């Protein structure tokens, strides 16, 4: 996987900051929920994998609007993005 090829970068990192900004094309869909979940799961995997004695902290970035627009997230998307980052 691409992230495994970046092992040198993760080994020097002190935290990970994945973003879960949703595009409007993913609004209120299973694909949108999967995108958020998989992005966070991959960050957690990388955080556990590349440091021998500890996992890196993971701080998820989200926003209350869809990316590239100021349209507010639907209730379902708010729950999936904020809930996944908690």
Q: Where are the domains of the chain?
A: 2-85
DSSP 74: P
pLDDT at residue 50, rounded to an integer: 86
How would residue 55 be classed by pLDDT, with cut points 50, 70 and 90? very high
The pLDDT of residue 33 is above 90: yes
How would residue 44 be classed by pLDDT, with cut points 50, 70 and 90? very high
- Kindly give, in sequence order, each residue whose CB lies less than 8 Å from that of residue 45, ignoring residues fewer than 6 positions away: 3
Place of tokens 């209730």: 75
Mean per-residue pLDDT over the chain, rounded: 93
Coil, strand or helix at 68? coil
**pTM of the predicted model, to two decimals?**
0.88
The tokens for 13 are 């990192």
Segment 29-48 shows an average pLDDT of 96
């Amino acid at each position: 996987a691409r992230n495994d090829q970046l092992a040198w970068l993760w080994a020097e990192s002190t935290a990970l900051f994945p973003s879960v900004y949703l595009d409007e094309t993913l609004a209120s869909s299973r694909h949108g929920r999967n995108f958020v979940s998989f992005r966070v799961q991959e960050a957690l995997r990388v955080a556990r994998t590349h440091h021998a004695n500890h996992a890196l902290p993971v701080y998820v970035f989200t926003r209350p609007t869809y990316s590239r627009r100021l349209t507010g997230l639907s209730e379902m998307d708010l729950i999936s993005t904020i809930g996944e980052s908690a």
